[in-house]
C-alpha cells in the first residue's frame, strides 16, 4: 500500500508504507537547509489523517522556525529537567543536560509541537498517533525527525505554554523536530517481540461457579 506525499522539491513521490515504517529512524544531525512551508503543511495534512477517539481530532500544530526561540526553549527545558526529579536527569542524561553546548533540538530548523486543545481521556494517544503519521511522511519526503522528550515537561508548564503562546487549556504532547538529515542514521536492530497468543484451544479454563 503506497503513501503519497510531497518531497523536498515539491514533486509527487510514493513510498511503500512498510518501507517508511522500517526505514524511519530518529535523526539528531541536521543541515542548515530550511524546510519549505508548503512541505510542512503537507506533513501536517498527513498527520491529521490519523485516527482519534470518537473522531474528535483534538490536535493543534504549532510550527516554530525561530532559531533564537528554539535556543531559548532548549536552555529553559534543560534547566527544568535538571531541577525536576523525573529520573531522566540522572547519569549520562544529567551530563548532557548540564552541557551548555548541548542543544536539545540538535539545531534542527523546525520544531512542530503537537498539542491537545484540552485534556481528555485519549487526547495524548490521539496526538501521538498524529505524530507517528507526521514522522513517517517526513521520512518518505527525505526529511528527518525526532520526538524530543527532553522538551515535553517544560513545554507543559505555565511558562512553557506562555512562551509558545498556547492557551492554558492546551496540553503539549509531541515536540517533533524536522529537517534535512546530515547523514542517514545507522539501522538499529529491533528486539524480538514478546507475543502471547490466546486461542479457544489454549485459553485457560475458567473456574466453575458453585451451584
Calpha distance 147→106 (Å, rounded): 11
Q: What is the CATH number of domain 2-179?
A: 3.40.109.10
Helices (H), 34-189: 37-47, 67-82, 91-98, 123-140, 149-155, 158-164
Q: Which residues pair with 62 in a beta bridge?
A: 113
How does pLDDT run across 104-140, given as a tens digit for each residue? 999 999 999 999 999 989 999 999 999 999 999 999 9
Calpha distance 67→106 (Å, rounded): 11
Which residues does 149 contact at the CB level (< 8 Å), separation at least 6? 88
- In the chain, where the domains are located: 2-179
Calpha distance 96→93 (Å, rounded): 5
Instruction: Give pTM, 2 decimals.
Output: 0.87
How does pLDDT run across 15-44, given as a tens digit for each residue? 888 999 999 999 999 999 999 999 999 999
Are the CB atoms for 124 and 116 separated by under 8 Å?
yes
Amino acid at each position: 500500500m503506497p503513501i503519497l506525499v510531497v518531497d523536498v522539491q515539491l514533486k509527487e513521490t510514493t513510498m511503500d508504507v512498510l518501507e517508511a515504517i522500517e526505514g524511519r529512524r530518529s535523526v539528531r544531525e541536521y543541515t542548515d537547509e530550511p524546510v519549505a512551508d508548503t512541505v510542512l503543511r503537507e506533513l501536517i495534512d498527513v498527520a491529521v489523517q490519523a485516527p482519534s477517539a470518537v473522531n474528535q481530532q483534538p490536535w493543534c500544530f504549532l510550527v516554530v522556525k525561530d532559531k533564537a526561540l528554539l535556543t531559548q526553549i532548549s536552555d529553559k527545558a534543560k534547566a527544568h529537567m535538571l531541577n525536576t526529579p523525573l529520573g531522566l536527569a540522572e547519569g549520562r542524561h544529567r551530563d548532557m543536560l548540564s552541557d551548555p553546548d548541548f542543544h536539545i533540538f540538535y539545531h534542527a530548523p523546525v520544531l512542530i509541537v503537537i498539542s491537545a486543545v484540552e485534556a481528555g481521556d485519549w487526547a495524548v494517544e490521539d496526538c501521538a498517533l498524529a505524530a507517528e503519521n507526521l514522522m513517517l511522511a517526513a521520512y518518505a519526503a527525505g526529511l528527518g525527525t525526532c520526538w524530543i522528550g527532553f522538551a515535553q515537561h517544560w513545554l507543559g508548564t505555565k511558562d512553557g505554554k506562555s512562551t509558545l503562546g498556547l492557551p492554558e487549556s492546551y496540553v503539549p504532547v509531541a515536540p517533533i523536530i524536522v529537517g534535512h538529515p546530515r547523514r542517514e542514521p545507522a539501522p538499529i536492530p529491533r528486539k524480538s517481540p514478546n507475543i502471547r497468543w490466546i486461542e479457544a484451544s489454549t485459553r485457560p479454563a475458567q473456574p466453575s461457579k458453585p451451584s
